[in-house]
Structure 1
């Protein structure tokens, strides 16, 4: 069953402008004020507060529709966690990616222990619908303990050098964190990564050797899919 059409009723700006503004904000390391300035250069006077409301209202709807797009087998899970300081307090963003670098799930937690690792694995199993063939992590013991409790038959490789794919997946968010001067709450971080990662999954080609032309065509197809998801297809 197809998802309901996104409604832009009672918004004075056309859907194409709203979708483009949300795309700029989540796709590139731009603050809301920079997006405001870029739109103004095009003759579109929308305040950064208006852009913030658009990002909150439409971003999650776009992400839900984007997640309906599957991208090949995901039978190897790379898991990692990164610390994010929010208002002086440490939180942990737990992330899982597949063998192609596709982000499977992310969850913000206050703990870095077996309970937190177990919660991530349960979410992954529910969302993916099946267990992986292999799980790759760093040497944090919480992963091994959680795996033994939830999916003991799955192969687990714990080695820092094997988990570069998950560790490198944190870099784009780090750039955004600096551009935004940090996050104000765990909830705001969770809401942001849901949309941010959905767009990154769509627009970043899989990790493989591609020609410049193939990459160009990939991104053109991604843009066409984005416009269809946002309901602004010409």
Structure 2
């Protein structure tokens, strides 16, 4: 479903908030890297066993390959791996590491944590990556920002979201 939903997506903003969080899979610690744009839409998620500079560069390459363009600005925490990847791959992009500016990315992990608890942890890396990719696309589709629009517009956005979902799940 994720591929079909992505095909209909309109595009992301020009500021990416990037963060990583640990996830246990079969007792081993892995890192879930996530990029969110300024509107709160999940741009990409990627599961890796490490969070060093090599892992950060791998995530950045994957992110920009899928996004087709460099963002105007990236916002991260102070993890040194981000600075290395930024310096080597996208030196012309602004890089903000001030405290609290990365809260949008930090909060984007919450829906995933809720689903992870309900599933009683992930069983394998492949299962986790597959689930997280689909979950991100479905979240983007149905997370409509109710507080930002009138009830009339919200209903029309919701109808459009369900129509897109119906189109994606029917073959």
TM-score tier (shorter)? over 0.9
Cross-structure match for 2:52: 113
Which structure has the higher relative contact order (CA within 8 Å, separation 6+)? Answer: 2
Alignment of 1:133-212 (within 5 A): 133-206=72-145, 209-212=148-151
Match of 2:65 among 112, 126, 133: 126
Q: Which residue of 2 aligns with 1:33?
A: none
Are residue 226 (structure 1) and residue 165 (structure 2) matched? yes
Cα contact 2:23–2:31 (8 A) shared by 1: yes
Give the Cα separation in 2 of the matches to 1:168 and 1:214.
25
Post-superposition CA distance 1:60-110 (Å, at most 9, x none)? xx1101001233442101100011011211100000011111111111001
Q: Which runs of 5+ in 2 are unaligned?
A: none
Partners of 2:83 and 2:30 in 1: how far apart?
21
Whichever of the two has the greater Rg, that structure is 1
Matched, 1:98 2:37: yes
Following TM superposition, the consecutive aligned residue runs of length 4 or more in structure 1 with deviations greater than 3 angstroms are none
| TM-score using structure 1 length | 0.70
Instruction: Using the TM superposition, give the Cα deviation of residue 215 of structure 1 relative to its aligned residue in structure 2, in angstroms.
Output: 2.2
In terms of fraction of residues, the more strand-rich structure is 2
Summarize the Cα distance change of 1:71–1:164 in structure 2 as closer, same or farther, 3 Å threshold. farther
- Partners in 1 of 2:62 and 2:69 — Cα distance? 11
Q: Distance in 1 between matches of 2:8 and 2:102?
A: 25
Q: TM-score, normalised by structure 2?
A: 0.94
Q: Assess if the C-alpha contact under 8 Å between 1:134 and 1:155 holds in 2.
A: yes
Quick one: structure 1 residues 132 and 169, their matched pair in 2 at CA, closer, same or farther if it must change by over 3 Å?
same
Offset, 1:208:
6.4
By how many angstroms is 1:159 displaced?
Answer: 2.3
Q: Do the aligned partners of 1:101 and 1:207 also contact (CA within 8 Å) in 2?
A: no
CA deviation digits over 1:20-62, x for unaligned, max 9? xxxxxxxxxxxxxxxxxxxxxxxxxxxxxxxxxxxxxxxxxx1
What secondary structure does 2:148 align onto? coil
Residue correspondences, number? 171
Gaps of 5+ in 1: 1-61
